[in-house]
Structure 1
Amino acid sequence: MRIALGIEYCGTNFRGWQSQAGGGTVQDALEHALRQIAGAPVGVLCAGRTDAGVHATQQVVHFDSDAERPLTAWVRGVNSNLPDGVAVRWAKPVSDEFHARFSARGRRYRYLLLNRAQRPGLWQGRLGWFHLPLDVVVMQQAAARLLGEHDFSAFRAAECQAKSPVKTMIQASVRQFGSMIVFDFEASAFLHHMVRNLVGTLVHIGKGAQSAGWVDELLGMKDRKLAAPTFSPDGLYFRGPVYEAHWALPDPADDFLDGILA
């Protein structure tokens, strides 16, 4: 049987999503917890890998298991074996044709940036921070230039393994809630460090170092060395993949982050 799970986690104390030597990743923790319930090793495949320090409100994974368990066991039972900072939100049987990564037609990220003179205390590790005033209107104008299909090589990490840098940006927005600036991105797929590099560039524009038109120049030059530095992972949240409606998967990605910003 193939099961899909919705996972949320705080990435602060993890070494990223993907399993690696020495453990300490979200995947390592989840597979260990699943093994306790399944009574056998369980390997999971995710919708989108996240780096160390990056959070998720709706990571989706799937796994195959011969163990017959009620869905509550795959949620509450697994959660009882998970460390603090990661939890299963839902479980659902899916057909063998479903694949957490390859069935997704898009992915969504949100970056939360505290824009004030003082660094965060209460939300340390869960917010990005920039101390100088930022022009949100200019950043909105710059973000709009990212929409559509582009070669995003200027925002691609050197170690990125994607076959093509060409992606389609569906949403790129910048909103302000008091001292909080919220960046939302949705695209067909993302390159390694792409969102953090986009935020770094938009902040560079927002502080007055470049005009909104700089985005067009960077897209055209396709050179990562010419764009702004990669921004901190602290405020980055993977809000989940986008699937076709026929998969009928729960999508609670926005209930928490939208609620606190309302």
Structure 2
Amino acid sequence: MGCTEDRQAPRIALIVEYDGSGFSGWQRQHHALSVQEVLEQALSKVAADRVEVSCAGRTDAGVHAAHQVVHFDPPVERELHAWVLGSNANLPQAVSVICAYEVDRDFHARYKAVRRAYRYYFFCRRARPAIWCNRVAWTHRELDAELMHTAAQPLVGEHDFSAYRAVACQAPHAVREVYRLDVWRRGQMVVIEIEANAFLHHMVRNIAGTLLAVGSGERDTDWPRRLLVERDRTRSGITAPAAGLYLTGVVYPQQYALPAYADFLP
């Protein structure tokens, strides 16, 4: 008698968005609620079996995602819409699966990503916001977005970002390539958008905190460049609050045919 090889269900990639303010971050933890935990629980209910997921970027506590990418190997076959609708029926309102795709078995949400994009939002007003509470970083100071943009441009390119990494960052080296770093104003919002091949722990929030000092007039426009050269985290700006940070895009090789960016943010 010949043997028949069991057919594997295709690997599934999901685009997920979430408000991170009620979570301890993306990664599953023993004593705190994480986005990974609630998503795996929801998917496991759809599969009626255990499901584990991997993500493109492990966001910290309070950080949001408009375009997080995850993948998993389903223990059973389901229609793509069943993974979307079924998981959303079992998720808290702060987390939503936007769409699902079948991908090749060699796809990996983290290791196949070639670039990632983040946005950081400062809300500039004398009074603290209520509607935007936990979704932006509030400053009572007026910020000059044009000065911030000018100051940010020396950070574009491949550099050692030691001055912009967390003290506890575990990356083996601090060299990263930033493809674009733009700052603009939209009403009372000042938006920082950065795209790079990879990011260090707290890199975006530390850059945002440094540019905050430039925009408020506390520091000159050459300060971020000097910090880059000095490579000393203790001399750079504050770590900006988590609430202002959003993962907004993950780019993969074209063969996977996945959308790259969120398209609804202000």
**TM-score interval, smaller chain:** over 0.9
1:156 maps to which residue? 165
Distance in 1 between residues matched to 2:231 and 2:250, nearest whole Å = 26
- Superposed, 1:226-241 pairs within 5 Å as 226-241=235-250
Segments of 5+ residues of structure 1 without an aligned counterpart are none
1:116 partner letter: R
Counterpart residue type for residue 23 of structure 2: F
The aligned counterpart of 2:18 is: 9
Q: Which residue of 1 aligns with 2:132?
A: 123
Q: CA deviation at 1:255?
A: 2.1
Partner of 1:255: 263
Q: What's the counterpart of residue 123 of structure 2?
A: 114
Provide the residue aligned with 1:135 in structure 2. Answer: 144
Q: 2:101 aligns with which of 92, 107, 127?
A: 92
Give the AA of the match of 1:11.
Answer: G
Distance in 1 (CA, whole Å) between partners of 2:194 and 2:101 is 27
1:173 aligned residue (165, 178, 182): 182
**Comparing 104-113 and 236-245, the one that deviates more:** 236-245
Q: Which SS does the other structure have where 2:126 is aligned?
A: coil
Counterpart amino acid of residue 116 in structure 2: R
- Aligned counterpart for 1:26 among listed residues 22, 25, 35: 35
- Which amino acid counterpart does residue 242 of structure 1 have in structure 2? V
Q: Distance in 2 between matches of 1:127 and 1:242?
A: 25
Cα displacement string for residues 47-78 of structure 1 (whole angstroms, at most 9, x for unaligned residues): 00001111001100001123011111110001
User: CA-to-partner distance for each residue in 1:58-111, whole Å, 9 max, x for gaps?
Assistant: 100001123011111110001111112001001111111111001110000001
Normalising by structure 1, what TM-score? 0.96
Residue 209 of structure 1 aligns with which residue? Answer: 218
Q: Cα RMSD over matched residues?
A: 1.0
Matches of 1:79 and 1:119 in 2, distance apart? Answer: 32
Is the counterpart of residue 101 in structure 1 residue 110 in structure 2?
Answer: yes
d(CA) in 2 for partners of 1:57 and 1:109?
9
What TM-score do the two structures reach when normalised by structure 2?
0.94
Which structure has the bigger radius of gyration?
2
Q: Any conservation in 1 of the 2:143–2:190 contact (CA below 8 Å)?
A: no
Distance 1:47 1:203 in 2: 27
Q: Which residue of 2 aligns with 1:83?
A: 92
CA displacement at 1:117 relative to structure 2? 1.0
Instruction: Report percent identity of matched pairs.
Output: 49
The separation in 1 between residues aligned to 2:129 and 2:111, in whole angstroms, is 37
Q: Residues 168-202 of structure 1, C-alpha deviation per residue, up to 9 Å, x if partnerless?
A: 00010000012111100000100011101000000
Question: What corresponds to 2:52 in structure 1?
Answer: 43
Mapped to 2, the partners of 1:103 and 1:154 lie a distance apart of 27
**In the TM superposition, what is the alpha-carbon distance from 1:133 to its structure 2 partner?**
1.7
Q: State the number of aligned residues.
A: 257
2:194 pairs with one of 185, 188, 192: 185
Secondary structure class of the residue paired with 2:46: helix
Q: Which runs of 4+ in 1 moved over 3 A?
A: none
Name which of 56, 66, 70 aligns with 1:57: 66
**Which residue identity is paired with 1:227?**
S
Secondary structure at 2:264 match in 1:
helix
Q: Is the 8 A contact 2:213 2:219 kept in 1?
A: yes
Give, in whole Å, the separation in 2 of the partners of 1:230 and 1:47.
22
Using the TM superposition, give the Cα deviation of residue 254 of structure 1 relative to its aligned residue in structure 2, in angstroms.
3.1
For residues 122-164 of structure 1, the C-alpha deviation after alignment (integer angstroms, 9 at most, x for no partner) is 1111111111122222111111111000100101011212122
Query: Which amino acid in the other structure matches residue 97 of structure 1?
Result: D
Gaps spanning 5+ residues in structure 2: where?
1-9
